[in-house]
Structure 1
Amino acid sequence: MKNKLISGFLWGIGFSLAAALILNGMVFVESLFHEDRIEIAHKIEKFQVLNSSNRIVTRDSGSSHLVISGEVSSLEFEKLSSIKISAEVRNSDGGFVDQCFNDLALPEGAVKVSFKITCMDISSSEQFSSYEFSIQGLYGKFI
């Protein structure tokens, strides 16, 4: 009886070790097929807004919002996977009104991209007088 108990215990340990090895092997093999990326962001200092325009859009429901659209270019775009373009909106006194943004995926090798930013909290042209752009670039680093 004692030998059967020891034998059963050893069989259990053997199966547990085998299962653990198989699971670890599966995790390792799966990691070979998945690329882990760390997104690294930085502010783009050198960019050029080629053109931009704004308009107040009114929906059928009666709500309205500011839409800023245009094109922007930078040589740094070639190295990036995406950008976040922000517009800081100011009133006629220079006071802060809102900050709106749009995330854009960049085609490989692009140096120029079109954008459209929607500011939901601005409903009339009297609420703002100017806006200033800033761009943050994202690129992925494989680990």
Structure 2
Amino acid sequence: MLIKPVAGTEKKIPIFWLVVVSLVIGSMTGLFGIGGGFLAVPVLVLFFKVPQGKAAGTSLAIIAINSITAFFGHFQGWSEVTWTVPIAMSIGAVIVARFASIKSGEMNQALLRKTFAFLLYSIALFTLLETWVIAQSLAP
């Protein structure tokens, strides 16, 4: 987020590299519990010169496929879910996302990018510290 996207023509991604990048991102997502979108978007933008909007859309499509797969994969537990909570969260997320998309055009894009990068670094630092504390508590 802090590196300005490389301008130029979008590169066609060879199937081999697409598979390799997908396996690496999927492995990191599974091992570290981080969202694949946080990895996929920068890789697509910085290395394959995909426009940010298209990279974000690709990431959202991947997230949707993963979410739908998990949703239907855990159908045995549906009876235990209090559905008002996820439905209210979904409606709230759609409303806030719509409002934010309208207002984002009025905001300084460089400031938004830097603020988002700060948020990501803060989350990464928090995750590292939390992991370190847990590891210390489990050590003999």
TM-score by length of 2: 0.20
Please state which structure has a larger fraction of its residues in strand.
Answer: 1
TM-score by length of 1: 0.19
Higher alpha-carbon Rg: 1
Please state which structure has a larger fraction of its residues in helix.
Answer: 2
